[in-house]
Amino acid sequence: MYSFDRTSFEAFKAEDRRSDYGFWSEKSQLERLKAAYYLISVAYDFDPDDPPRMDKTVFQARKRDW
């Protein structure tokens, strides 16, 4: 699993921000999805290799009468 490199952090004002568009536009869709999945796993604190199972008791399926 990746770890957060705190030595590469750089504080700056919003006006001085750099665009990451060029960096991500060169990546394939699969690489972008992998990066997004990793960030989601960090945000929700789960292991990317063992994601949590969906709680199916929350949802209900019912038939509509049309």
- Return the pLDDT at 37: 93
Q: Give the number of domains in the chain.
A: 1
Instruction: Please count the residues of the chain.
Output: 66
Is residue 29 included in any domain, yes or no? yes
- Return the pLDDT at 43: 92
Calculate ∠ Cα 35-38-41, nearest 5°.
155
Is residue 10 included in any domain, yes or no? no
Is residue 60 included in any domain, yes or no? no
Give the pLDDT confidence of 16-60 residue by residue, as tens digits.
777 788 888 999 999 999 999 999 999 999 998 998 888 888 888
Task: Determine the structural domain holding residue 45 and report its residue range.
Answer: 18-51
CA distance 10 to 28: 26
In the chain, % helix, strand, coil (3-state, to 5) comes to 40, 0, 60
Is residue 57 included in any domain, yes or no? no
